[in-house]
Chain A
């Protein structure tokens, strides 16, 4: 049996879990190709006009999956206690499969960690039974899947790139001994040459499915890495995220926004971060809240802050202009700071 998994949306956060789950159920998982022009265009044509770019991309990816027995679209309601995922995630099996007409049947399972691990396991058991697998096998697959996801998180925190992490994570459970792949991760880590002059530190925050989606974001991560020392939310410890959100009057309701805002707040206070960039896209309800909250915090701390909004026809020129101007601003600021001692004082008065 072959199951198709679209390389979009939850792929960028939770693929290791699902890859581990299906691997241990002895089911072949086929992912769609990385986004290219054809996928994007078919997605734009099919998806509902008012939805956001990532959901449109999902439609394109579903459409590009051929030669599989089923297409798997999980309904990810919640991935941790007391938070929900984006409402669009909740309705995906219906909303997106309505937009994409194809002959391949869609299978789904509801994942809701708000109800606790037992409920998640129960849902997965029912799902696995339908696929003809035994209960013991499903339980084991669930435990293994959690390990895959944890391993992926560790790799990201060690500074490993997104694609490399996915690759290494998969290998470490399938072919390589665990220790070898961890060692590999350490040698592969992105490092700055030591003899280079110091570069500005910039943190890039935003949804994983925008930051790691290289086609749609015009390879923003590598464009930035060419000029700055880049920090990503995946590299930030969960503890730091939670600590920096302690002052909020109300808990963040959405888990993605919690991660983005928590990491964002910690960057605002971090002296090694000279500026924060928020990558967002049109039509994101969550970002409309967290983007502004982060803007206010950054402004209070006089930390340079910029929002980049993606849409389907993002011209490269506009993006490059903004990045260049932002980096220039920070570099000129740093150069000036070392000449002018009264700089910080002046700034605070204004």
Chain B
């Protein structure tokens, strides 16, 4: 930096520590609430240190479910969320790498049209067309199925654009070289393009996994059976009883469980996450 002043550094540390405090505080409170029994949480004066009901709460949340209304145990919802997030992330990677390959490496009639058909989808998030999409899914008999949860959300252009951009940076000499070696479109794709795309795929995977895991409105609409619920929609349903009856300690345990997988992805795959985030926004 230009000049190095001691007070400047101290100020920076103070501001950043305050920032981290704001960021961590709500999660800390939820974590604490998930270790107390229902009475302690509800009386409005919960201690700020962990209690002794941790194992009991998490065990009940994951395997048993709440006691005051019939509820689905969270273990199953975690499974549904996982399938949905993986389906969206992998599905998007597969369909978009194929279409980007076609658009970049082939010349054919209607190539630009196909590209624009895909490109326009960038503009409309699923939230603006929820009921018509719901109706399509209902007509296709895909309510309460994984296909219904996954397919409408992989219809988007981000992946195709990302791979297209990446393919454009690959030197033409690579294609010419593998042509001279007698490679056709399949061999070139499998032996040259796929290995080169691994980092791009990883970046896209991280972003799409988080996106899929955190979906709320869509699963809320098209799952009617409790057995198909995802964890993010499940938390809300734990709280829809009257306030006195809601089991907040279980809801908070569920909230923590719902956060762990995507947050772990961000923390442990930080570089890929940052790359994916920056590149999918271009």
Query: Do chains A and B interact in one complex?
Result: no
Chain A contacts to B: CB under 8 angstroms: none
Chain B contacts to A: CB under 8 angstroms: none
